[in-house]
């Protein structure tokens, strides 16, 4: 006896497209799944991700995904499954495909509006005192202004200074000389530019 039951063919994913494959922390990416069904049956979609979140639902051919907030380079996997309408996603009438994305860490935010950030690390084997100042724009190489506080740094310790943009000078004195209370001698750097919201790091000592 011949069966009159119609044979059903599973749908197939033709292409999985991401608007970007390298994204920044919390950036939004669009994904599109191109699929076809040999029988012309309606297709169901189901999206999933290892990290981040979908912000436009997970049951259509095109979705919007928001990358996770991260401070280090992260890999995320986005998966789409399709199935014949009326059939389970884990049944024989389905297909799936995944795409890997690299999520870059968030860019450093401006610590203080209209300021730059100077990070000084003591790479000496002895303790030092450090501070920063800004060269007077009206009298270059003449007067330093906007002195920060003087900070004690043990070997391998760092200090962070927020200072107005301009030509910045870093100052250093050994802790031994500081304790003598003679006011010096201080060692200084050549003035170097620091822009608004810029973050600079200076190793003071070997490798300076």
Bridge-based pairing of strands 116-122 and 199-204 is parallel
pTM over 0.85: no
Q: Of the candidates 50, 68, 73, 48, which has an alpha carbon nearest to the alpha carbon of residue 59?
A: 48
pLDDT digit string, tens, across residues 47-77: 999 999 999 899 999 999 999 988 778 889 9
Q: How many CB atoms lie within 10 A of CB 34?
A: 12
CA pair distance 52, 76, nearest whole angstrom: 8
pLDDT digit string, tens, across residues 136-183: 877 766 778 889 999 999 999 999 999 999 999 999 999 999 999 888
CB contact set of 125 (below 8 Å; sequence gap of 6+): 155, 205
H-run or E-run covering 203: strand 199-204
Domains belonging to the chain, first-starting first, are: 12-104 (2.60.40.10), 116-204 (2.60.40.1120)
């Amino acid at each position: 006896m011949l069966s009159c039951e119609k044979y059903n063919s599973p749908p197939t994913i033709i292409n999985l497209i991401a608007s970007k494959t390298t994204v920044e922390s919390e950036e939004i990416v669009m994904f599109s799944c191109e699929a076809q069904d040999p029988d012309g049956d309606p297709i169901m979609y189901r999206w999933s991700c290892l990290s981040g979140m979908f912000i436009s639902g997970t049951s259509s051919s095109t979705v919007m995904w928001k990358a996770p907030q991260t401070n280090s380079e992260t890999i995320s996997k986005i998966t789409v499954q399709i199935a014949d309408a009326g059939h389970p996603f884990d049944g024989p009438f389905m297909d799936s495909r995944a795409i890997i994305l690299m999520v870059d860490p968030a860019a450093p935010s401006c610590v203080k509006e209209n300021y730059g950030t100077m990070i000084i690390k003591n790479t000496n084997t002895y303790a030092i005192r450090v501070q920063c100042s800004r060269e007077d724009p009206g009298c270059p190489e003449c007067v330093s202004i906007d002195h920060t506080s003087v900070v004690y740094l043990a070997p391998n310790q760092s200090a962070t200074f927020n200072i107005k943009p301009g030509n910045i000078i870093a100052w250093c004195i050994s802790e031994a000389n500081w304790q003598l209370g003679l006011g010096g001698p201080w060692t200084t750097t050549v003035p170097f530019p620091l822009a608004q919201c810029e973050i600079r790091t200076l190793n003071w000592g070997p490798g300076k």
